[in-house]
């Protein structure tokens, strides 16, 4: 079983390195369906896993000046308070009850389908026409904060959303943002969000530290190798295939 977790971590890390898709969309369903981990523990463990694995990515992007910290602040001003409020609500319910587990599973399925849609339509969102007047800039700023609120709730409950969905919204709201700055900004926002949500789940006893360590042992070299291979693998084929897989898993969870 230990080897299975390490191998799974490596496989997910490899795909994350190649596609840039957040590990939550891949890791959480794998833990639930592949290893029978309860949804609450799968979500909590994956949140801490995401915070750790994405932290190194932030350092790299920050050194390369590919993070728009103004956008990060806007997103975090919505997502972090929303995550804290969601954690407070979760603290008042039994997350291990059948009803709570069913709710988390269904919401996770919806999040996976939204992630699949984001993967398929991300390139089109950046082509939506925008004006550049004061009213439009204010609208974009408020929409960014509102997006943070939605991501804060969704990520805290499912561990999914900070990656592909967050990036897709950024490319829609900020069409002039380069691809690398969009990715860097999305990762920079994901770290504090997943860290806050993950620590909250840890406090509630919904993080398996042994499982977390095994996933990290496998995923870190997987992410490194995937990053090296990303330039050699045709992403235009891999992304639709991955989106199709996420849609299938999402439908299974919702059904």
pTM score: 0.86
CA proximity to 46, closest of 166, 149, 169, 157: 157
Contacts of 27 (CB under 8 A, 6+ apart): 8, 9, 12, 42, 46, 49, 159, 215
Per-residue b or e along 32-70, where b marks 16 or more CB atoms closer than 10 Å to that residue's CB: beeeebbbbbbbbbbbbbbbbbbeebbeebeeeebbbee
pLDDT given at position 47: 93
Instruction: Name the strand (E) or helix (H) holding 223.
Output: helix 209-229
- CA-CA distance, 16 to 187, in Å (whole number)? 12
Contacts of 246 (CB under 8 A, 6+ apart): 25, 112, 113, 115, 116, 119
Pair of tokens at residue 59:
């350092």
179-222, pLDDT tens digit by residue?
Answer: 778 878 888 898 999 999 999 999 999 999 999 999 999 888 88
Q: Which domain holds residue 7?
A: 2-254
Instruction: Name the strand (E) or helix (H) holding 26.
Output: helix 24-29
Q: What is the pLDDT along the chain (255 residues), one digit of tens a residue?
A: 588 899 988 888 887 777 666 677 788 888 888 888 998 899 999 999 988 888 877 877 788 888 899 999 999 999 999 999 999 999 888 877 888 888 888 888 888 888 888 777 766 665 656 566 677 788 899 999 999 999 999 999 998 877 778 878 888 888 888 777 887 888 889 899 999 999 999 999 999 999 999 999 988 888 778 767 766 766 667 777 777 878 888 887 787
Q: Find the angle CA(220)-CA(46)-CA(247) to the nearest 5 degrees.
A: 100
- CA-CA distance, 28 to 34, in Å (whole number)? 10
pLDDT given at position 126: 56
CB 224: neighbour CB atoms within 10 A? 14
pLDDT given at position 250: 84
Q: Are 212 and 49 in contact, with CB atoms under 8 Å apart?
A: yes
pLDDT given at position 81: 97
pLDDT given at position 234: 65
pLDDT given at position 128: 59
Total domains in the fold of the chain: 1
Pair of tokens at residue 75:
């997103």
């Amino acid at each position: 079983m230990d080897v299975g977790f390490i191998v799974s971590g490596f496989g997910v890390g490899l795909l994350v390195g190649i596609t840039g898709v957040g590990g939550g969309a891949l890791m959480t369903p794998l833990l639930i369906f592949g290893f029978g981990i309860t949804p609450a523990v799968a979500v909590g463990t994956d949140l801490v896993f995401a915070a750790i694995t994405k932290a190194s990515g932030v350092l790299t992007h920050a050194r390369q000046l590919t993070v728009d910290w103004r956008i990060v602040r806007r997103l975090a001003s919505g997502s972090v308070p929303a995550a804290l409020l969601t954690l407070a609500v979760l603290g008042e319910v039994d997350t291990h009850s059948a009803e709570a587990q069913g709710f988390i599973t269904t919401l996770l399925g919806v999040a996976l389908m939204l992630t699949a849609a984001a993967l398929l339509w991300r390139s089109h969102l950046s082509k939506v026409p925008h004006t550049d007047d004061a009213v439009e800039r204010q609208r974009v700023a408020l929409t960014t904060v509102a997006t943070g609120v939605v991501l804060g709730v969704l990520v805290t409950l499912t561990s999914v959303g900070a990656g592909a969905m967050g990036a897709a919204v950024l490319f829609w709201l900020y069409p002039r943002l380069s691809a690398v700055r969009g990715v860097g900004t999305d990762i920079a926002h994901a770290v504090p969000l997943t860290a806050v949500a993950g620590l909250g789940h840890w406090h509630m006893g919904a993080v398996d530290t042994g499982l977390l360590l095994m996933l990290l042992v496998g995923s870190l070299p997987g992410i490194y190798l995937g990053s090296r291979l990303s330039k050699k693998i045709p992403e235009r084929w891999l992304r639709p295939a991955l989106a199709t897989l996420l849609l299938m898993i999402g439908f299974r969870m919702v059904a």
